[in-house]
Amino acid sequence: MRFTPSGFSRKTLVISTAALAATALLLTGCAGGSGTASSTDGGSAGGGGDSSITVIPKSLGNKYFEASDKGAAAAADELGMTFKEVGPTATGSADQVPFIQTAIQTGQKAIAIAANDPTAVCNDLSQAQSQGVKVVAYDTDTDCRDVFVNQATVDGVAEGLVKLTADHLGDEGGTIAILSGGANAANLNAWVDAIQALIKKDHPKITVAKVAYGDDVDEKAYQEAQGLMQSIPDLKAIIAPDTVSVKEAAHYLSDTPEYQGKVWVTGLGLPSEMKDYVDSGIVEQFGLWNPEDLGYLASYAADALIKGDITGKEGDTFTAGKLGDYTVGADGEIVLGPLFVFNKDNVGDFSF
């Protein structure tokens, strides 16, 4: 297994801290979009060569993307790339478009984007590609990119979360709900579809009563969790394949004793955000990957595209620094690794 518990080397930590410090300089300017925010220049985390990457997460302020982009900045530094992280503070379909345009206009060599909506950004990404900019989709796919750096396979995520839930419910099964994030996000919708298909195929005694959406916004996710628990009387479990949604479902459960021991929550979460809920017994187990490694791999894939070492063709190979060798799979997909399960024995071992 590739990733080491809380295991970055001292040197890498220093670089990431620099990127983090740069990130703290956010909110200095705006560039269009409803929930626009600002940009930051992680030059201090790399640069000097003429290679450059702009990273556009789903939204700024989401700790998951702060972790992934910290990894992206560390890799950019190792590669001598100039690094920028820019993005909106809301997850609207078109909120990322102005940042793509800025990356084009400022002559960036590569864009790494986690698109809130795979089609809404397509025209602008195609424009970037037509001007020689390499486009890496990371975390969630988009239709217009050279490669997709995927954290884990869709089936791997669905199998992992369904197994945790089915093992908890036991033979009698029961009624569950799914609390997702942004309603247009390709990754979340793929996981939700795969989870429902797997339950239908292998777990006839489990019923999915409802799929709700928290839009990667704390307050909305909390309210949706409340709505599910209050509106579904025989609800036994919530699967939340989104770091904001699983955290807020646990948050609402911890605020509401009447549902504790009655509704069981799992999903995809950050150990740093879930530890207290695991320690207090509100959550038993949940899954994820190492988001810092995901961002790190995305920068190395961008660099390999810029250098022409890969084109996105199936079978292309490249070395991603400390992560080792990777091969481009079908349809330009590069998979980081398997889903990892966190529980009370290991949740404290991770810094992300």
Select from 105-113, 242-250, 314-322, 329-337 the region that touches ligand RAM (CB under 6 A).
Answer: 242-250
Give the N- to C-terminal CA distance of the chain in Å, as an integer. Answer: 17
Verify binding: residue 157, ligand RAM, rule CB under 6 A: no
161 versus 263: smaller Cβ distance to ligand RAM: 161
Taking every pair of Cα atoms in the chain, the longest distance, rounded to a whole number of angstroms, is: 61
For ligand RAM, which residue has the nearest CB?
64
What pairing do the DSSP bridges indicate for beta strands 325-327 and 317-319? Answer: antiparallel
Verify binding: residue 216, ligand RAM, rule CB under 6 A: yes
Interface residue with ligand RAM, options 215, 242, 292, 316 (CB under 6 A): 242
Distance CA 207, CA 217 (A): 26
3-state secondary structure of 333: strand
40 versus 91: smaller Cβ distance to ligand RAM: 91
269 versus 312: smaller Cβ distance to ligand RAM: 269
Distance CA 274, CA 148 (A): 28
Report, in Å, the least distance between residue 244 CB and ligand RAM: 6
State the helix-helix crossing angle for 218-231 and 243-255, rounded to 10 degrees.
60
> Please, which of residues 178-197 interact with ligand RAM by CB under 6 A?
181, 185, 187-188
Interface residue with ligand RAM, options 69, 117, 139, 248 (CB under 6 A): 139
Task: Specify whether the CB–CB gap between 91 and 216 falls below 8 A.
Answer: yes
Interface residue with ligand RAM, options 54, 140, 153, 165 (CB under 6 A): 140
139 versus 293: smaller Cβ distance to ligand RAM: 139
Verify binding: residue 165, ligand RAM, rule CB under 6 A: no
Q: What are the helix (H) ranges across the chain?
A: 10-23, 63-79, 97-105, 122-130, 154-169, 186-202, 218-231, 243-255, 271-279, 291-307
What are the residues binding ligand RAM (CB under 6 A)? 58, 62, 64, 114, 139-140, 181, 185, 187-188, 216, 242-244, 268
